[in-house]
């Protein structure tokens, strides 16, 4: 199944960086892994609620920094 999504440019750059470093073979692989991890986290009960991602590029960069710390 194919799903098209629009993502902020800052996310696309981070995805491309992961592919370029060899951590993943493609953009699709990065997105599939991220989605798999999210769904696994949501299965746990009680799961910890996710923090909302701040809107706008500055907020997205801040969210990416928090993810990279984990």
Residue 2 lies inside a defined structural domain of this protein:
no
Is position 3 within any domain? Answer: no
Confidence at residue 57, expressed as pLDDT on a 0 to 100 scale: 63
Domain span at residue 65 reads 9-69
User: pLDDT-based confidence at 13, cuts 50/70/90?
Assistant: very high
Q: What's the structural domain count of the chain?
A: 1
Does residue 46 fall inside a structural domain? yes
Residue 66 banded pLDDT, cuts 50, 70, 90: low
37 SS3 class: helix
Cβ atoms 53, 66 nearer than 8 A: no
Task: Give the Cα separation of 56 and 38 in Å (integer).
Answer: 22
Does some domain include residue 4? no
pLDDT in tens, 45-64: 776 666 776 666 666 666 56
The pLDDT score that the predictor gives to residue 5 is: 92
């Amino acid at each position: 199944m194919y799903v098209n999504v629009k993502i902020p440019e800052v996310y696309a750059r981070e995805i491309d960086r992961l592919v370029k470093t060899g951590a993943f073979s493609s953009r699709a692989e990065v997105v599939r892994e991220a989605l798999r991890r999210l769904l696994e986290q949501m299965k746990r009960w009680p799961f910890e609620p996710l923090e909302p991602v701040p809107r706008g590029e500055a907020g997205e960069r801040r969210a990416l920094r928090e993810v990279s710390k984990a």
